Amino acid sequence: MVPLRGRSGLADSRQLVLPLRAPSSPEFVFARAFRRLGIRRAMPDFHVEYRPFSSLRSNIALRGNRARVHISDVLAEAPPIVLEALAEILLAQLFRRRASEEARECYMAYIFEPAVRRRVDEARRSRGRVRLLPARGHHFDLAEIFSRLNQRYFDGELSSCRIGWTPRPSRSVLGRYDPAHHTITISRSLDSESVPLEIVEYLVFHEMLHIRIPLERRGSRRVVHSRAFHEAEKAFPHYGRVRERLKKIFSK
Ligand SMILES: [Zn+2]
Q: Is 216 helix (H, G, I), strand (E, B) or coil?
A: strand
Give the tens place of pLDDT for each residue, 89-111.
999 999 999 999 999 999 999 99
Low-confidence ranges of the chain (pLDDT < 50): 1-15
Distance of CA 234 from the midpoint of ligand 1 (Å): 13
Distance of CA 247 from the midpoint of ligand 1 (Å): 15
Distance of CA 229 from the midpoint of ligand 1 (Å): 9
The predicted pLDDT at position 18 comes to 55
The predicted pLDDT at position 247 comes to 87
Report yes or no: 238 and 220 within 8 Å, Cβ to Cβ.
Answer: no
Asked if the domains at 26-127 and 142-251 fall in one CATH topology, the answer is yes
Distance of CA 176 from the midpoint of ligand 1 (Å): 7
What lies within 8 Å, CB to CB, of 93 at 6+ separation is 2, 60, 99
Q: Is 150 helix (H, G, I), strand (E, B) or coil?
A: helix
Architecture of domain 26-127 in this structure? 2-Layer Sandwich (3.30)
Give the tens place of pLDDT for each residue, 185-226.
999 999 999 999 999 999 999 999 999 987 777 776 778 899
Options 3.30.2010.10, 3.40.50.10070, 3.90.226.10, 3.30.70.1290; CATH for 142-251 is 3.30.2010.10
Domain ranges of the chain: 26-127, 142-251
